[in-house]
Amino acid sequence: MTLQGRLQAIRDGLSKKAPEASAALHGFIEDLRATGIENRVARVGERAPAFELEAADGARVSLGALIARGPVILTFYRGRW
């Protein structure tokens, strides 16, 4: 089964098991789409802007310093679900 098929099966399962939750989720997605956010997000392969963040140990880390050491993968967490 393709990834697309597997994702559709998961969506279908959620709709059957929890129709209210599924409807709410789809509503949230449509609300986000209505803001035009899809036109403002980074695309695959697009360069990230330079930034600096605090690491877990309190040290400052810049994207540029990490890239100088090798490839970097950025992961974004939505936050509290």
Please give the tally of structural domains in the chain.
1
Distance CA 30, CA 4 (A): 20
pTM: 0.48
Backbone angles phi, psi at 34, to 5 degrees: -65, -20
In a domain, 74, yes or no: no
In a domain, 33, yes or no: yes
The residue range of the domain holding 19 is 3-39
Residue 61 scores a pLDDT above 90: yes
Distance CA 3, CA 26 (A): 20
How many Cβ atoms sit within 10 Å of the Cβ of residue 56? 6
Q: What is the DSSP letter of 50?
A: P
Residue 76 scores a pLDDT above 80: no
Residue 80 scores a pLDDT above 70: no
In a domain, 31, yes or no: yes
Sign of the dihedral defined by the CA atoms of residues 14, 19, 24, 30, in that order: positive
